[in-house]
Amino acid sequence: MPTSADIAADWLLSGLELRSTLFHVGRYCGAYRASTAGHQRASFHLILEGACWLHLPERPGRPQRSVRLGAGDAVFLLHDMPHCLTPEPNAPAAAEYATRIGTMSPLNAEPTDGDGLALACGFFEFRSDLGDALNALLPDYIVVRHDDVRFAGARTLFDLIRAETARNGDSPSPLINRLTDVLFFYALRAVASADDFAPGLWSVMQRAEFAPLVNAIIERPGDDWSTHAMAAFCHMSRARFCKQFAESCGQPPAQFLAILRMKVAAEMLRRGASMLNAAEHVGYQSESAFAQAFKRVTGLLPGACRRAHPRHPSAAVH
């Protein structure tokens, strides 16, 4: 059965708008250094056959990393960041990450040395109701392992992707883009449920003392959720509540409350609710104050969010 944390995480992820595009599908043989960096876009690599090493250079606060990827694995790079794929476990020099080596041949070409790498690479764009607030809480990259129990449902997706890449024709199947979208959602859900993903929204949801509060705010966002009221709901003193909440989430309770409220408001606006109705539903009596808070959290004005989704006539919130 899904836990309260799983349900809340799915609710937060429900506002994502995602679009994947396939960049290339093919095979590398011999020496190669492949990368999708430098395009100012998030990207992905799906290992269809063979194995390789993902190298990430050193950056402030993080040492250089090399991760082995095998058939059935995938990596999603959530930002445009320096990286490369090579057949060797040793990382290249920092100045060499941007230098591509090798040529990708068609996928139906047989590997000449038995160590070829079949690869599908592409880019994706995703936007959330929470804007930069969500992006800031996500890791730089997510590795999806084919044998990880958290991704059990994704194995069928990967098999479908591999079957689509094997289809004859000069152009890859457009279904690969849609299947990759779903695979990325699986990856995000796994990250949302990971015990080691902290601080962040989901670390709060996984705390037994805080999960009921999160669900109560989602159900009744317009209630008077002052810091004192939230502490009382959790049966804690105000000082203890603020300390433990901030340690778990990485942000104060008031900021977390604003994120949840604006998520609810964004869903209402997408379904056609007026700005006044959305503002009152999440606890704001002033449209101007609501508009400022909405833009601060989502990066958009309420009117822009509503105009971007004119297809939903109902303003109901579930």
Together in a domain, 219 and 279: yes
Task: Tell which of 129, 162, 193 closes a domain.
Answer: 193
Q: Quick check: is 44 in a domain? A: yes
Each residue of 5-60: pLDDT tens digit? 566 667 767 777 788 888 888 899 889 999 999 998 899 999 999 999 999 999 88
Task: Tell which of 193, 213, 234 closes a domain.
Answer: 193
78 close to 9: Cβ distance less than 8 angstroms: no
Range of the domain at 114: 4-193
Average pLDDT, the chain: 82
Taking alpha carbons only, the member of 87, 88, 49, 89 closest to residue 71 is 49
Together in a domain, 27 and 156: yes
Each residue of 73-119: pLDDT tens digit? 999 998 899 999 999 999 999 889 989 999 888 887 665 555 689 99
Q: Quick check: is 317 in a domain? A: no
- CA 253 from centroid of its chain's CA atoms: 23
Q: Quick check: is 312 in a domain? A: no
Res 169: pLDDT: 54
CATH number for the domain including 267? 1.10.10.60
Task: Tell which of 171, 193, 215 closes a domain.
Answer: 193
| 192/181 Cα distance (integer angstroms) | 17
Together in a domain, 277 and 217: yes
Together in a domain, 156 and 229: no
Each residue of 238-253: pLDDT tens digit? 999 999 998 887 789 9
Res 2: pLDDT: 56
Could you tell me the pLDDT band of residue 318, with boundaries at 50, 70 and 90? very low
Together in a domain, 50 and 188: yes
The pairing of beta strand 42-49 with beta strand 51-56:
unpaired
CATH number for the domain including 150? 2.60.120.10
| 318/315 Cα distance (integer angstroms) | 10
Res 196: pLDDT: 43
Handedness of CA 232, 236, 239, 245 (dihedral sign): negative
Number of domains in the chain: 2
